Amino acid sequence: MPPARLFPSGKVTGHDVDRELKSCLCAFSTVLLALTLPAPALAQPGGSVIAEISAADRVTIRDVADGAGPSHVIPMGPYILVVDPWNMEIRRYQADDIHGQPAICLFPRTFAPGRVSHAPDGVRLIAEPYGPDGAGGYDLRAREAMTITPALVARMPIVGPCRFPIAPLDRHDDTPPPIRSGHAAEDASYPLPGGALARIAPQAGPGWQVFAVRRAGELSDGRVLLWWSEVGNERAEADDAGPGQAEGSAGGRLMASQFVGVFDAAGGTPRTVVRIITALVPPLRPDHSIPIATLLEKPGLEYVAGAPGPNGDAIWIAAANTDGPGRGRFELQRYDLAALGDAARGRIALVDRTIATEPVGDGDGPTSTPEADGLLAAASPRVPAMPYAKARETLEAQIAFRWQYPRTAWDRPCDGRTLCDIGADHTGALGTGPAFPVPVRDRVNPEGGARWVQPRQLVGLLPGAWVSSVPYSIGGADLAEGFAARLAAGYGGDAANPPPIGHIGEGLEWQRHGEGEPEWHEDQANYPLGIDCSALIARVFDLRIRSTGTMVSPRLVRGADGRGYQVPAGPDRACPQPVRSIHELREGDIILRNGHVVIFNGFAAVGDSPGVDAPARSRVMRVFEATSRCGAVCESLYDPSYFAGWWMLRLDLADEGANCPFWLGERP
């Protein structure tokens, strides 16, 4: 694509996506799984062969209700453990028969799993939450580690509380070893359990660098499976492109790849490398419209593990499957390494390439407008005018906010359950059963049929308890002050139908039905107490609430070459401008896809230790978000591969005019 400096055209013509998505569908990730049948090996340039690996077996973990899903897969002797923060449970499966009844134990509500540290007697599941530190500051709170050993796993109850001990983090033992080098075009090294060094060369192509390395499990004959992520330039690779796609600019999308490698105990280079594709990031289509950037967001933090299976060494993956009708399901999948045969490279694709070129938005393609036709000039990139420190203070205040769970709220609208399908009565009150016969309708699901889900932080909590942070609720838009006022008004005894605390499936809002009125009132709607991801962005940056579907919908702009291009529309103001590369991210930039949006808050070293620079260790991204993973507004740590294919945008809150600069492709 030739160099271009791009400018906004104003409104996007065609279907108004904002009418369809009033606020962000944070809880519903679009996850499409492919390659359920064996696929032929693919010939690559230079004569190498990449073998496609299909799932040898899979079992449903649970339905998709929250969008975040299980966080960790942990091999433990003859068992495979799946950690699920939403249900606050650890599920134990038999590795040689995952279809048997799993044992399930519940861990404390206050424990938030973040990463795994390997110990001589098992693993330590570590929580690294950010928030008020108890001394008037805001940083990493007291970190804890749950020790999981084979003996304790073997004695897990069929159903009951987890008996894995939880103790403070050991800063020495629980800090991962350093990566010797993570720079582009240089091999990274990582120590194996026996002391030998594994050498990892960037696999994704020129300009990519190893960003994070983690131990994923032990295989037969003393071999080790390592997982690593790479970040790189803005070009989509041809071997990841679907039909008709080729290399080209990613145009402001975060480029990250993930690999697993089989290493001998003696170290050196990997015997086998398997690429795990969780997102396709194709270039602009021939008509310069935006393809779908992300078809799968891996649901977990450490979603892959290696361990022997019934057919030898295997890779175990937790992924979400919504390829059929209904709400979808989270699955534990097994991929046998023996399927590689003599090939040294393999590929597991968790996306469906056949529909990866569908455009975002209404699908009408670029439409010329008078505003776009007249925009041909160039302008220099801008720096956000609003100091991010102020926005960060607002975000931190949402996490530090404390409120009391009302004694009358726990049973609304599901009679004490954490999840149910709901209806409404003639007043608009939500509930379940014959007293609530009216389907909950909204602009997303006009036929009704909503599902209510309790925020994770309230699951199992007794009424009257004190809770930290504003809860996550799809459709909600309450910062701390507004939440406290609505909570007092709704549950103080005066309100007949107080809004529930929690998110409501497709029911982002529901209209009140007037007494004796046969139709729904368009100008009246209830909203759940709390806040969702897009509303958090809007309230913190003083934007009008916009859905993520609208933010990633195409805006037609015209470049200096005279051609029309489509870029994400972004929020309704603040001059959104694509950020070219992960290396150019600044604190306060937003990262989004259709369904979720977060605020970037810098990089951090995993297991941060005094005197060790972040680049020397596996690194993670710090983000503020409202999410079902923690059930509230929180600060989370993610490997960058979690955001592969997402858009990166910078906001200039001082500019309200029509001359906001956009760019796509190479800088002039």
Contact residues for 328 (Cβ-Cβ < 8 A; gap 6+): 28, 31, 63, 64, 320, 321, 322
For residue 444, pLDDT beyond 60: no
Report DSSP state, residue 179: P
Q: What is the pLDDT of residue 286?
A: 72
37 belongs to a structural domain: no
Which of 155-159, 227-231, 330-334, 435-439 is the least confident region?
Answer: 435-439
The DSSP bridge partners found for residue 420 are 452
Q: What is the pLDDT of residue 381?
A: 43
Same domain membership, residue 646 and residue 559: yes
Same domain membership, residue 622 and residue 509: no
Report DSSP state, residue 484: H
For residue 372, pLDDT beyond 90: no
**pLDDT band at 305; cut points 50, 70, 90:** very high
Which of 225-229, 376-380, 547-551 is the least confident region?
Answer: 376-380
Tens digits of residue pLDDT in 383-419: 444 578 999 999 999 999 999 999 888 888 898 888 8
Task: Tell me which of 184 and 518 has the higher pLDDT.
Answer: 184
Q: What is the pLDDT of residue 667?
A: 37
For residue 88, pLDDT beyond 60: yes
Same domain membership, residue 418 and residue 369: no
Q: What is the pTM of this model?
A: 0.84
> Taking Cα atoms as reference points, which of 336, 356, 350 lies closest to residue 276?
350
39 belongs to a structural domain: no
State mean pLDDT over 138-156: 92
Same domain membership, residue 436 and residue 527: yes
Tens digits of residue pLDDT in 557-578: 766 666 777 778 888 777 888 8
Task: Tell me which of 355 and 227 has the higher pLDDT.
Answer: 227
Q: What is the pLDDT of residue 87?
A: 87
Percentage of the chain surpassing pLDDT 90? 36
Euclidean distance between CA atoms 161 and 456, whole angstroms: 17
Q: What is the DSSP string of 281-316?
A: -----TTSPPBP--S---SSSB-EEEEEETTEEEEE
Euclidean distance between CA atoms 394 and 627, whole angstroms: 17
153 belongs to a structural domain: no
Average pLDDT taken over every residue of the chain: 77
270 belongs to a structural domain: no
Q: What is the pLDDT of residue 629?
A: 87
User: DSSP H helical segments within 202-259, as ranges?
Assistant: none
Same domain membership, residue 396 and residue 519: yes
Tens digits of residue pLDDT in 328-339: 789 999 999 998
For residue 363, pLDDT beyond 60: no
The sign of the dihedral angle between the CA atoms of 517, 518, 522, 525 is positive
| Among 486, 520, 540, residue at a domain's last position | 540
Same domain membership, residue 459 and residue 374: no
Does residue 550 contact residue 286 with C-beta atoms inside 8 Å?
no
Which pairing describes strands 49-52 and 345-349: parallel, antiparallel, or unpaired? Answer: parallel
Residue 256 burial (10 A CB sphere; 0-12, 13-18, 19+): buried
> Taking Cα atoms as reference points, which of 629, 453, 622 lies closest to residue 69?
629
Percentage of the chain surpassing pLDDT 70? 72
Number of domains in the chain: 2
Q: What is the pLDDT of residue 339?
A: 87
Same domain membership, residue 393 and residue 533: yes
204 belongs to a structural domain: no
Does residue 512 contact residue 495 with C-beta atoms inside 8 Å?
no
593 belongs to a structural domain: yes
Report DSSP state, residue 644: T
| Among 490, 511, 540, residue at a domain's last position | 540
Residue 486 to residues 55, 491, 516, Cα–Cα distance (Å)? 48, 8, 27
Euclidean distance between CA atoms 595 and 29, whole angstroms: 6
Range with the largest mean pLDDT of 53-57, 62-66, 559-563, 652-656: 53-57
Range with the largest mean pLDDT of 340-349, 571-580, 650-659: 340-349
For residue 551, pLDDT beyond 50: yes
Q: What is the pLDDT of residue 304?
A: 94
For residue 499, pLDDT beyond 80: yes
Which of 388-397, 426-435, 612-621, 657-666 is the least confident region?
Answer: 657-666
Note down the domain range covering 600.
5-13+364-384+544-663
| Among 506, 540, 574, residue at a domain's last position | 540
Same domain membership, residue 425 and residue 523: yes
For residue 46, pLDDT beyond 70: no
Same domain membership, residue 531 and residue 492: yes
For residue 341, pLDDT beyond 80: yes
Determine the distance from the C-alpha atom of residue 612 to the mean position of all C-alpha atoms in its chain, rounded to a whole number: 28
Same domain membership, residue 450 and residue 582: no
Q: What is the pLDDT of residue 297?
A: 59
Same domain membership, residue 529 and residue 421: yes
Residue 425 to residues 36, 434, 439, 514, Cα–Cα distance (Å)? 44, 9, 9, 10
For residue 179, pLDDT beyond 90: no
328 belongs to a structural domain: no
Q: What is the pLDDT of residue 10?
A: 28
**pLDDT band at 19; cut points 50, 70, 90:** very low
Which of 27-41, 451-465, 579-593 is the least confident region?
Answer: 27-41
Same domain membership, residue 482 and residue 374: no
559 belongs to a structural domain: yes
